[in-house]
Structure 1
Amino acid sequence: MLVRLVPLLTLLTVLPFSSAATDGALFTSSVTYCEPPETLLIQQFDVKYFSANQSIFFDISAASVQANVNVSANILVNVYGLTLLNVTIDLCDILAGALCPLPQYNFVGSQSISLPDSLGVTNRIPAIAFRIPDLEAYAQLTLLEVGTGDIKACVQATLSNGWSTRQAAVQWATGALALFALLAAAWQSTRPNAVVPYRLLDLLHFYQTIAATGLLSLNYPSLYRAFAINFAWALGLISSTNSRLQTSIDNMRALTGGDMANASSGSAVGFVDRRLSPWNAVNLELPASSFAQSLLADTSVGAARTNITFSRIALNGIQQLATTEGQVQTVTDDSSNVLQAGIPIYVNSIHIATANAFMTTFLISLIIVAIALAVAGLAYGALFAANRFGWGTEETRQRLKSSYPAHMRAWALRLGLIVHPPLTIFAFYQWSLKDSWLSVLLSVIAFLAIWLSVLYPVFLTLRLVRRESRDALEFNPEHLASHGPLYAQYRTPRYYFFLPLLIGVFIKAIVIAAGEGSGMAQVVVFLIVELAVVIAHIVLKPYNSRGGDVFSTYLAIVRLVCTGAMIAFVESVGVAAIPRVAIGAVITVIFSIAVLILAINVFLHSGITWLWRHRRSPSRQGSADESMLEKGDANPIDGTADDTSRYSATPSMLSRTIGASTPHHDTAASRRVSISSTTHH
């Protein structure tokens, strides 16, 4: 019976690993046809191997639909590009010819089978196979017609152990950190020397950097691609299986000329180009193996596999069932549903269709803007109520009322600086797809709007410097309060440092969208941009505090090192799968450590430590703050060093500023300290 091939296939799938394991499981994570099906039609194929009791559970629904077909079966298992098993068995030589020719009926069955100790499966599976994240392994069954060698069926199943660097906990933790930084920044943004408003931008831009490194046309190890997807939300790529948002976008595209495929509700792994991870496929010969034939003839296994229930269905019903939506798909090198490296694999892995990437980011950005407007409206309502009912002192009410417009403009600029990288990337990418005219139109509008919100403050800042002088940036309170997020963190002579950063984002966006299919060119351009940024940090030392220079340079070096290591992911370089995975793991660790350091830095400058010290000893803390203020040593709100520490700080003071960002001054008076200190150097 053809159904008897199922436990044999799953057994051969798990045999090739060598060593001992005491726990864990391996199971199929995706199933696809690797050739258009002619003889064998599969509706469902799920397999699990449990090492604790050496058993296999499978659930299959399949059918043989051609009469008088004699085939041989080739079974191939590939792990990290290594062919650990490649055997061919003539089905007419086993099971007393029961599978020659193939029986013609449908079978549906599920069974748990205990494997005999005589097979030695435990000694053939290494413990690491059950623990390494994002295992890159697959099994392939090919039925070849005897005599002609024609392929009658080809099925591929990727294997997983359940471990992955993609974790919902990581996504929630990074999102919570961003929310904490946002609330702290909102609290401190009107205070002199505030660090967190700039750390908020650093944090989100770093998240976006990690996510964007997964958008290049590279052969990423599955481990690193899964890690980068943890930060997809920072690019506005938020989705889930059967998302209503994605369904609405699909409908919109269908009504406006879009003809590209929608996302699959299942795993996108099965649609990945076979040259890429987790497939790592190469052209292989099909040798025979006496070991496989002896294994198939094992009587104990034969006894175990007879306890399978199956049912027969009319052939017309089988053929109709196999063509309905949601069935096993055919994925070949020539098929149109293959996901190429870069944005297609990345976004489809989170159930976002390739053509939906821009619209998803666009709609998420609109939601963020709507929330920001609502908060701004509530703040204005609170000010109005305070004036109407006389809450607080007259001086405080007037001060808040006069500073409200500039404060809102500053936050609008921050919002523009946060959302412009993803919108730029996916707007350019949408133009390359030419899918839906409405998506293209909205991408043009969004691109112009977001860059106008950023470039207009840039224009006003440069114009102010040209008409007056650089010092005008410090002594114009309204301009500083409104457009300070661009330059207030930098020393006055280096006020322009925001320009190379904006240019770098623009270049990267073009390279990601226009360089699809040219992984080496993308990496080289990214490497040049990151190297230029590192050199600029080292040469210009743009920040007001030495700690700001050290911390920002560290992040720039992290980006440079990780980008350089990604050369190993370029297909043409030909790095083997295992070294590629090792390099991906190293990059993951480097990025993770940087995120942890960012989190610590945000916490230390959020003001929480000051509140904690104040609660422990209000009187002593107050005197300490007064002493530090007299010396110009620290900000009582967040404990960060004043600008003068860059030039006059003692070693002990410098030790307290390591990791500190540039203070933010919202008034010209508070900036004059920095100006006076820089004129002497």
Structure 2
Amino acid sequence: MFSSLARLRAIAFTFSSLAILSHALEGSLFTSSVTYCAPPETLLIQQFDVEYFAANNSVSFNISAESVDSNVNVSASMLVNVFGIQPVNITIDLCGILNGALCPLPQYNFTGSDSITLPGSISSNFPSIAFIIPDLEGYAQLTLTEVGTGDVKACVQATLSNGLSTHQRAVEWTTGSLTLFTLFVALWQSCFPTAILPHRLLDLVNLFQSVAVSALLNLNYPVTYISYALNFAWSLSLFSSGDDSMQGAINNMRALTGGGLANSTSSSAVAFVNRKLSPFNSDSASSSSGSISSLSSLAKRTVESSLLHIQQRDVAVVTSESDNVLSAGIPIYVSTINIATANAFMTVFLCTLILIANALFVFGFGWLSLFAMERYGIGREDRRIQIRRAYSPWIRAWTLRLSSVMFTPIVVFAFYQWTLNDSWLSILFSVIAFLGIMSAVCYPCIVVIRSVRRSEPSVLYTDSFLLKSYGTLYTQYLPSRYYIFLPLIIVAFSKAIIVAFISSSGMAQVILFLILEIALVFRVLLFRPHKTRGADIFSAFLGIVRVVCTGLMIAFVQSIGVKPIPRYAIGLVLAVINSIAILVVFFNLALHSGIQRLWKRREATSSSSSSTSSSLQGSSNIMLEKNVTPSPEYPSSDPFGRPRNPTPERNVPLDPEINQPYSPSSPTATTTDYASTRQRDSESTNFGSVLPRRWSFTPLHTPTESSGLDHTPPFESTLSRTSEEQIEQASHPHA
């Protein structure tokens, strides 16, 4: 009966939790995760939900528990911690609530819920901002102490939330969709080796990856920044699966190959965060030292049935001495999206295989299309030959771009996998992936540098094979600054080493990150490597943004001890700065995607139409000023009566001796009877006599090698003044 009631109440509470947003609007705090803050002995808790309503200053709770000891009377101490502040710290006599059903604790599974109105002095301690800010950092702790002896019988911690977070699925889908759209446009524009959009695509993905990697350091991040950085986890190939099919397969693989670390679960990872870090913001030894010390001896007497209940109810014991506590950095980041720490690399590896399969499909489809064009003769032959010759370099270029995108996630998580010593198969795959990505990225760099050493930097732009295959590395830079791409690869590799192998010191990680980012900024400011000033400004802007964000993260170093509220504010500032940088990159992508050509074309069309209308208006003005009327014989003539087509409509008598091409071997024109060799439409055509030698034709240029610069045919004759006068008189006999 009691179990049935427990299920019904659990279902009711589940339906009520669907209205999380309404809770936030109403001003309430509710439970987001539950863990034991000490090993359970007397009381085993199956469900513990707490919710605080600011409207009536009340606390409602729903508890489902079981006592394993008889005749135990306890009092409950409630502690609420919000951003390190404790607005609530009260003791409740359980014998005075629920009509005494909990005094003494019953030895069966019991459920109960109630609402308690808090004193006004307590409600004044709750800051109103706690109900409207995203990613609230707070928890409620319930400690049951035996009446008379003071022994702690149970300790439970429940993290609190107001339903708001900077981690939004809409942001993930929006950024991913825009990146995918940019990829499609870049695929088309990459047919031109000097296109800018493929480079801006890499800049966008690198920006997303830099935000995600910045949350992998051993720092006490505020929850709001980790949640914000999780919006770009997909850029590191970290995809959380709703049905956990991929994670379940990885768990099984690791179990069969020597893996001994914790597997992935669908439960909230925030419950396993170190109590010194956000959202707890307190040392567990100080908050419940009495509980832990008192229960350390009681833990030895825990019955086997109690442990069985704990496993079935999936309520973990998390203390400062527990080995299941999540450390800062990669463990907290990946576990928040339900990916186990030991599964991080294999998740990246499987996603990389999926990306490779998609790329092979696209490349193979292109080859089949070329084969079909050759087989059935589709298109012009010269066009097919041109496409066939350019397709292989195009594949090499996009292979290099995809390798650049996957370089950071593979290297970071491969290095981190080597520090875990978990599954030998995972380590083997990490070595294979590391060697593969290093070969795919380093080999083109070696080819480019070797080509320059054998010749000169200009060969990178004159050699069609190098330009189309490996131009991704250097075409956005000046020929004299082609080597500027090398620092980017070195910095990405250095960051991977810092994240994986220097995780013991957060201060060292931040300082080294800051040095690398400053070096990248000076690389742009000193060398000005790009072809345009706008590109230099854009690159410098992104570098300065990374420097500022990295510098602000010094406040997250645990040894500095910045208070939770200032640390939370800095996290919001970082999210805002990175969001502005992302918007700037999207705007830059829009400018280089060809959209600006639309309004340029409109401006050109409008300007041409306006110039045409102005010319017509000017012509009419001239006609009015000179009092000239267009000739009726030429309806489309200009104001002076001249036809647009300069070809005369009547046959003009020409002298055959004059209308002869120039011949260097015979300076004197020869006489030819055109009437006998060529039929004319009119029989009235007459030819004149031969002119004197002083009026003979001479070429405009001597046919030498320098005449190749002249586009006029070398043997084209021109009319002399006399012939022009004769033609003018013949065409106007009545003038």
**Normalized against structure 1, the TM-score is what?**
0.80
Counterpart-to-counterpart distance in 2, 1:550 and 1:405? 34
* Corresponding residue SS for 1:60: strand
In the other structure, the counterpart of 1:312 is none
The answer (yes or no) to whether the contact 1:27–1:46 under 8 Å persists in 2 is yes
Counterpart-to-counterpart distance in 2, 1:392 and 1:285? 78
- For residues 542-600 of structure 1, the C-alpha deviation after alignment (integer angstroms, 9 at most, x for no partner) is 11111110001100110110001000000001000000001111111000000011111
The answer (yes or no) to whether the contact 2:194–2:476 under 8 Å persists in 1 is no
Distance apart, 1:452 and its partner CA = 0.1
- For residues 329-367 of structure 1, the C-alpha deviation after alignment (integer angstroms, 9 at most, x for no partner) is 110111111100000000000000000000000110110
| Alpha carbons of structure 1 residues 117 and 39: separation in structure 2 relative to 1, 3 Å | closer
In the other structure, the counterpart of 2:376 is 389
| Alpha carbons of structure 1 residues 97 and 168: separation in structure 2 relative to 1, 3 Å | closer
* Corresponding residue SS for 1:487: coil
Letter in 2 for 1:560: V
Counterpart-to-counterpart distance in 2, 1:330 and 1:391? 69
How many residue pairs match? The answer is 578
Identify the structure with bigger relative contact order (alpha carbons < 8 Å, sequence gap 6+). Answer: 1
In the other structure, the counterpart of 1:196 is 197
Counterpart-to-counterpart distance in 1, 2:308 and 2:112? 16
| Alpha carbons of structure 1 residues 61 and 192: separation in structure 2 relative to 1, 3 Å | same
Distance apart, 1:124 and its partner CA = 6.0
The answer (yes or no) to whether the contact 1:46–1:58 under 8 Å persists in 2 is yes
In the other structure, the counterpart of 2:678 is none
Counterpart-to-counterpart distance in 1, 2:175 and 2:122? 41
Counterpart-to-counterpart distance in 2, 1:147 and 1:259? 44
Letter in 1 for 2:74: V
In the other structure, the counterpart of 2:282 is 281
After TM superposition, the structure 1 = structure 2 runs for residues 271-670 of structure 1, keeping only pairs within 5 Å, are 271-282=272-283, 284=286, 319=306, 322-611=309-598, 614=601, 616=602, 619=605
Counterpart-to-counterpart distance in 2, 1:249 and 1:256? 11
Counterpart-to-counterpart distance in 2, 1:33 and 1:591? 37
Counterpart-to-counterpart distance in 2, 1:73 and 1:50? 20
| Alpha carbons of structure 1 residues 116 and 69: separation in structure 2 relative to 1, 3 Å | closer
In the other structure, the counterpart of 2:654 is none
**1:187 correspondence with 2:188:** yes
The answer (yes or no) to whether the contact 1:22–1:52 under 8 Å persists in 2 is no
Distance apart, 1:175 and its partner CA = 0.2
Counterpart-to-counterpart distance in 1, 2:479 and 2:236? 32
* Corresponding residue SS for 1:571: coil
The answer (yes or no) to whether the contact 1:181–1:199 under 8 Å persists in 2 is no
Distance apart, 1:445 and its partner CA = 0.3
Counterpart-to-counterpart distance in 1, 2:95 and 2:387? 88
Distance apart, 1:263 and its partner CA = 1.7
The answer (yes or no) to whether the contact 2:76–2:91 under 8 Å persists in 1 is yes
Decide which structure has the larger Cα Rg and report it. 2
- For residues 66-103 of structure 1, the C-alpha deviation after alignment (integer angstroms, 9 at most, x for no partner) is 12334343221111011222334566798998755433
Letter in 2 for 1:206: L
Counterpart-to-counterpart distance in 1, 2:182 and 2:247? 29
* Corresponding residue SS for 1:459: helix
Gaps of 5+ in 2: 14-23, 290-301, 611-735
**1:160 correspondence with 2:147:** no
Deviates more, 1:491-500 or 1:570-579: 491-500
In the other structure, the counterpart of 1:24 is 27
- For residues 140-165 of structure 1, the C-alpha deviation after alignment (integer angstroms, 9 at most, x for no partner) is 01123345543211000000000000
- For residues 415-462 of structure 1, the C-alpha deviation after alignment (integer angstroms, 9 at most, x for no partner) is 100001000000000000010000000000000001100000011111
The answer (yes or no) to whether the contact 2:259–2:422 under 8 Å persists in 1 is yes
In the other structure, the counterpart of 1:79 is 82
The answer (yes or no) to whether the contact 1:217–1:517 under 8 Å persists in 2 is yes
Counterpart-to-counterpart distance in 1, 2:608 and 2:362? 33
**1:222 correspondence with 2:223:** yes
The answer (yes or no) to whether the contact 2:83–2:565 under 8 Å persists in 1 is yes
Gaps of 5+ in 1: 11-20, 288-314, 625-681
Counterpart-to-counterpart distance in 2, 1:123 and 1:83? 12
Counterpart-to-counterpart distance in 2, 1:232 and 1:75? 37
The answer (yes or no) to whether the contact 1:527–1:564 under 8 Å persists in 2 is yes
- For residues 396-417 of structure 1, the C-alpha deviation after alignment (integer angstroms, 9 at most, x for no partner) is 2111111000110000000100
The answer (yes or no) to whether the contact 2:193–2:475 under 8 Å persists in 1 is no
Counterpart-to-counterpart distance in 1, 2:250 and 2:389? 42
**Normalized against structure 2, the TM-score is what?**
0.74
| Alpha carbons of structure 1 residues 401 and 612: separation in structure 2 relative to 1, 3 Å | farther
Letter in 2 for 1:43: Q
Counterpart-to-counterpart distance in 2, 1:622 and 1:103? 92
| Alpha carbons of structure 1 residues 121 and 240: separation in structure 2 relative to 1, 3 Å | farther
Counterpart-to-counterpart distance in 2, 1:261 and 1:285? 27
| Alpha carbons of structure 1 residues 512 and 117: separation in structure 2 relative to 1, 3 Å | closer
* Corresponding residue SS for 2:38: coil
What RMSD, in angstroms, separates the aligned Cα atoms of the two structures? 3.0
